[in-house]
Amino acid sequence: MAKEDFIEDIEINNAGFESFSTSTTAKARGEILRKRYELTLQHKDDLEAQGKGFYGVSFISWFAEEATRSYGDDPQESLNILQSFNSDPNVFILLAHDSILFDVLSLFNNHPDLGINDWTQKGHKSQNSLGIFE
């Protein structure tokens, strides 16, 4: 194989990977890898690499499990959606277990006539912007 052919193959595979990774879910990619692993085991007698060389196949199983975990872009997408909601002046996002809010909002509503629905008048959103939105 010529060097140019090798480089072209890498570029084609890279482009295919980008398309594949954005058009499939992590779960679907994990299922594809799991199927690849199972087929390799099923046909191991047909493969030349056995023993030490075949040990590498176990990594396919690991990558299949790892594919369903969410890292990187997925959390960023969730944050982008939250930021979109937060940009609406009529929405005040409260995250569970955010202890800072205890200083602002009543834990128990001792004055039912006041409630917590007056957060806009009290300026709670502007005073308590979450750091993740900055």
pLDDT in tens, 24-71: 888 888 899 899 889 888 887 777 666 655 677 788 888 888 887 766
Output the pLDDT for position 7. Answer: 83
Compute the distance between CA of residue 24 and CA of residue 33 in angstroms, rounded to an integer.
13
Q: Pick the last residue of a domain from 46, 69, 92.
A: 69
Angle, vertex CA 77, rays to CA 127 and CA 22, nearest 5: 170
CA–CA distance, 134 with 129 (Å, rounded to integer) = 8
Residue 132, domain member (yes or no): no
Mean pLDDT value of segment 90-96: 76
Domain count for the chain: 2
Using the predicted structure, report yes or no on whether residue 134 has a pLDDT greater than 60.
Answer: no
Q: Is the pLDDT of residue 112 over 70?
A: no
Q: Is the pLDDT of residue 125 over 80?
A: no
Q: Is residue 134 part of a domain?
A: no
Q: Note whether 12 and 65 are same-domain residues.
A: yes
pLDDT in tens, 1-29: 678 887 888 888 888 888 888 888 888 88
Tell whether 39 and 20 lie within a shared domain.
yes
Query: 63 is written with which tokens?
Result: 């990558």
Instruction: Give the whole-angstrom CA distance, residue 21 versus residue 26.
Output: 8
- Tell me which residue has tokens 């594809």: 32
Please tell me the predicted confidence (pLDDT) of residue 34.
92
My answer on whether 9 and 63 are in the same domain is yes
pLDDT (0 to 100) of residue 35: 93
pLDDT of residue 103: 64
In a domain, 86, yes or no: yes
Report how far residue 61's alpha carbon sits from residue 41's, in angstroms, rounded to the nearest whole number. Answer: 11
